[in-house]
Copies of this chain bind each other. A is one copy, B any other.
């Protein structure tokens, strides 16, 4: 446990003590000092009955913010235990996009039950948002935003914000619409404040507003926001009508989610496994992991069987020269690692935009040079080791040459495969560690035994 974990444990203990001794006033004061996000974390660590007690103590606005941060399971268990009136009032104060996230993970029944508690306008918004795919711009946007008509003055704009701001997710960027609700510009709160009070919004706004479509993939949205350093981005429908906004905090979540997915893909497990991180039950989690990983393992199994078939052809070589087989794990291991290094860098490079089709040949040539260099160093070492250990110079030379050839091939295949996949429109991450290392087992063993049969057996 690090410092923060110890500190957090202490806070949980204190909160439990306050709940047990029913010191409501002190508990209230104590919680007031904390960020809603921290209160949510404490809540998760309490026993069922204490959860409710703590939640009932919270002022409505704080309670709503705490709900924003909870998983769907805890969310619905808490809601099931508070009064209908309390439920209604607190749900109305929740952040729309967080509520949509939570509701989309609930069963149809529970979802409907909660929507029935909302006031009709909010219920409409939520139902609309629930229609969008979870990983689309529509799925992560909020409709809690403020838009200004282009024909009002800076002064009235600020007055309008003053009245309506507390409800909106963000007012740092204010989007400007025309009378058909079409997005025509953007103005920052800062520009509104420094503008002359009687200037028209349309004269001070920027018309260069970058927006996304409700159906765009969240990863594309994240790329735009991170490229242009936006705090929020507007979402429009196909008629350019402004439908919602996505704020930078949700973009950070997307970036982290996508990075986790990429890492999972490298390791050869379905990207969907990441969604089950939140799953807390043991068996569903195990079953899900098995489903996500098994396909890659079956590919490896197939590849391994092919390796075995190749080795079967060299049965006489192995039985004549058993020592040859001792170096097989070394060769396949080194090839796999060099190949994984190259493919990982290439796949990540494609994802971050550092490797594109223009620079493809440069990248390939560079990785080949790296493969040749590390191959050279390692083959000299293994040549000497094999000679000293086995007292067999020829074997040392064969293993050394096979190692160098194998590592060069590994670096080349590790780089070329993701680039070709990208060109063909296949996700480059399919060239994951299991795929690459299985392929390289086959090429590596073929190289090794061809060399062995050619050099070792011919000479001897």
Contacts and interface: CB of A to CB of B under 8 A. Distances in A.
Interface residues of A, number: 109
A378 interface: yes
A72 B374 CA distance: 30
Interface string A332-356: 1110111011011100110010101
A259 interface: yes
A205 B155 CA distance: 24
B445 A334 contact: no
Q: How many copies of the shown chain assemble into the complex?
A: 2
A190 B165 contact: yes
Contact of A268 (B231, B327, B341): B341
A263 B327 CA distance: 29
A184 B316 CA distance: 81
A260 to B, nearest CB: 6
Contact of A294 (B267, B285, B362, B377): B377
Given A172-B231, A319-B322, A322-B318, A300 B263 contact: no
Contact of A304 (B190, B262, B305, B330): B330
A193 B348 CA distance: 44
B226 A352 contact: no
Interface string A422-439: 000000000001100110
Given A193-B161, A378-B301, A286 B373 contact: yes
Contacts of A336: 333, 336, 437
Nearest to A285: B366
Interface string A366-386: 100110011001100110010
Given A293-B370, A354-B277, A333 B304 contact: yes
Nearest to A375: B297
A129 to B, nearest CB: 19
A74 interface: no
Interface string A24-55: 00000000010101000000000000000000
25 contacts: A37-B228, A161-B190, A165-B193, A172-B190, A226-B256, A252-B255, A255-B259, A260-B348, A264-B345, A264-B348, A267-B340, A267-B344, A267-B345, A273-B345, A286-B373, A289-B366, A297-B338, A300-B334, A301-B382, A304-B327, A307-B326, A311-B329, A312-B326, A318-B318, A329-B441
